[in-house]
Chain A
């Protein structure tokens, strides 16, 4: 089965500093990877995806992610964090053999302090 892991339960960063949220994956074949963000009492919002092609993927709200096949990682990054980026972030992988279901990591809470 495919899986993703988010090794950090929480990331604290000062506003204006770079933000990185880590994700590693374990898949057979080519991975379809996603990042989602969830604000309190809201649904998940799609940020970006890696399917194939360039290892640096750009997404919504200034976020980007770097796919690294040798390290089996797909870290989410933002050059300059905003207080409004404080939220819960989920990495996910598509399971093609299981009806295209998404398998989520455990989530990382990001707290951006002014």
Chain B
């Protein structure tokens, strides 16, 4: 099973709202990622968790707050977003051992900030 699930599929929020995106994987992967993707562009890395610890923050604004409650779950808390934050948010996971470094992606959450 190489499935990464994400909820919700779509989210519309105002600039004063607080919302959360959720991601789950049951592949035993120890690395999990958040990406932001604009239309017809490659994904841009936001955060990396390795063994449930934040290992990379790609200078993401503080209105995005990641959380990794356990090895299977990854959340992205959103607060006071801007319209330019509207995008597809992708979660991914990978094993990162031996020769297995490919990342498996979820279907994404389409976020619209109004």
User: Which residues of chain B are near A34, meaning CB under 8 Å?
Assistant: 102
Query: Are B94 and A43 in touch, CB under 8 angstroms?
Result: no
User: Which residues of chain B are near A101, meaning CB under 8 Å?
Assistant: 33, 45, 48, 56
Query: Are A109 and B48 in touch, CB under 8 angstroms?
Result: no
Question: In the complex, which range does the number of interface residues on chain B fall in?
Answer: 20 to 34
The yes or no answer to A102 lying at the interface (CB within 8 A) is yes
B residues neighboring A (CB under 8 Å): 2, 4, 6, 31, 33, 40-43, 45, 48, 50, 55-56, 88, 90, 92, 94, 96, 99, 101-108, 110
29 contacts between A and B (CB under 8 A): A32-B101, A42-B107, A43-B4, A43-B108, A44-B105, A45-B105, A46-B102, A46-B105, A49-B102, A51-B99, A52-B99, A88-B40, A90-B42, A90-B43, A98-B56, A99-B48, A99-B55, A99-B56, A100-B31, A100-B94, A100-B96, A100-B101, A101-B48, A101-B56, A102-B45, A102-B103, A104-B43, A106-B41, A106-B42
A residues neighboring B (CB under 8 Å): 32, 34, 36, 41-46, 49, 51-52, 88, 90, 94, 98-102, 104-107, 109
